[in-house]
Amino acid sequence: MADKVKFNIHNVHYAVMTTEGAWSAPKAIPGAVAFSLEPQGEVTPFYADGVVYYNAVANNGYAGDLEMAAFPAEFLTEVFGVTEGATSKVLTENAMVEPKSFALLFEEDGDVSGTKFVLYNCTATRPNREFKTNENTKTPSTSTISVTAAPLPDGRVMAMTQSDTPESVVSSWYTAVYEEDT
């Protein structure tokens, strides 16, 4: 039976795209708070005979904001090329380094089975930094990155499980980036 409602993002993972076009093994980013995605692309009407004769729809992927409790140093070094001093253990960001493409895996709970997702060919902005003082209560700060998922050369943008996805696929979701079994 399919889910009637969806709630709660968790199990966020990333896998960096290698220079050979393959994916590294997915690694967890704990502390998911929220993820909002907006489809990218336009509908362009073509007029003929005085009416809309055809609508051309462009699927340019998705863009949105991923809010996490914090992004681990490993994510910063692997995706954004931040370097770590060998002895000082200080992280240094370099504006000359281009971020790497990555796949983003996560899941959303449902009332029955939930859904696991993978967004291919993601790029992201560096995490925002917000610093504030404690007042009457301690409220944890979060970090947010803007994520863009563009189509791969073969057109794939996203894959997601369904209620009837075989258990073997669902249980191995975070062991490797899902590739279509055509």
Q: Where are the domains of the chain?
A: 6-171
Residues in the chain: 182
Is residue 132 over pLDDT 70? yes
Contact predicate 74/27, CB 8 Å = yes
85-114, pLDDT tens digit by residue? 999 999 999 999 999 999 999 999 999 889
Position 139 scores a pLDDT of 86
47: tokens are: 């007029």
Is residue 5 over pLDDT 80? yes
* pLDDT class of 45 with cuts at 50, 70, 90: very high
Position 112 scores a pLDDT of 87
Backbone angles phi, psi at 8, to 5 degrees: 65, 100
Strand pairing partners for 108?
Answer: 9, 115
141-166, pLDDT tens digit by residue? 999 999 999 999 999 999 999 999 99
- For the beta carbon of residue 73, count every other beta carbon within 10 angstroms: 12
* pLDDT class of 130 with cuts at 50, 70, 90: confident
